[in-house]
Amino acid sequence: MQHFSILIVDDEEDFVETLVSRLKKRDVDAIGVRSGEEAIEYIKKKEFHVVIMDIKMPGGIDGIEAMRLIKKEHPQTEIILLTGHASIETSIEGMKFGAFDYILKPVKLEDLLKKITSALEKKKMQDENR
Residues that bind Mg ion (CB under 5 A): 11, 54, 56-57
Q: Are 54 and 33 in contact (CB under 8 A)?
A: no
Q: How far is the CB of 87 from Mg ion (least distance, A)?
A: 10
Residue closer to Mg ion, measured from CB, 4 or 62? 62
Which C-beta is closer to Mg ion: that of 56 or that of 123? 56
Strands (E), the chain: 5-9, 29-33, 50-54, 78-83, 101-104
Q: How far apart are CA 43 and CA 24, in angstroms?
A: 19
What is the C-alpha separation between 121 and 76, in angstroms, rounded? 13
Minimal distance, residue 122 CB to Mg ion, in Å:
26
Nearest distance from C-beta of residue 71 to Mg ion, angstroms? 20
Kindly tell me which of 11 and 29 has the beta carbon lying closer to Mg ion.
11
Identify which of 111, 104, 99, 113 has the alpha carbon closest to the alpha carbon of residue 24.
Answer: 113
36 neighbors 59 (Cβ within 8 angstroms): yes
Residue 129 Cβ vs Mg ion, minimum distance, rounded to whole Å: 36
Residue 77 or 87: the one with the smaller Cβ distance to Mg ion is: 87
